[in-house]
Amino acid sequence: MFGMLDISTSALVAQRTRLDAIAANLANADVKVDPNSPNAFSERVVEFATGDPESGDPMGVHVAAITPRKAFRSVHAPNDPSHDANGNVWYPNIDPVTQQANAMVASRAYDANLAAIDATKAMFDAALRIIA
């Protein structure tokens, strides 16, 4: 009976995770990194998959992976103390405009799932009124 709510709830969790990754991308877009370091921050990309791998339920959505893109951009700044041998300073290659567009899409998907939950609750309420 509550499967319909579970589907929308799984989408809410997935979109919230996507928004968290976008926020981290925007916050770290101008942070200097060492591209040779395995811990260097790069754009995080959230990948979705259908179903729930824990319960085996084919309905809903879950976050399959959060993958770093490992793309960097260089800025020639020989006076910066963190420059490399060629005088370049490295940053994650994150486009703020693309991140903003992705945030708007994720936010609208989140809102759509909230609306689906409200519609489902209204249908449950109407069904209970008919039965009672």
Give strand ranges (E) for 1-132: 44-50, 61-68, 72-76, 88-92
> Tens digits of per-residue pLDDT, 49-85?
998 887 777 888 999 999 999 999 999 999 999 899 9
| Number of structural domains found in the chain | 1
Query: Over 90: is that where the pLDDT of 113 sits?
Result: yes
pLDDT tens string 7-27: 999 999 999 999 999 999 999
Give the list of residues 6+ apart from residue 15 with CB closer than 8 angstroms, or none. 106, 107, 109, 110, 113
Provide mean pLDDT across the span 25-39: 94
pLDDT average, residue stretch 17-46? 96
What are residue 44's DSSP bridge partners?
68
Structural domain including 14 reads 3-131
Structure tokens of 35? Answer: 């591209």
**pLDDT single digits (tens) 122-131:** 999 999 999 9
- pTM here? 0.87
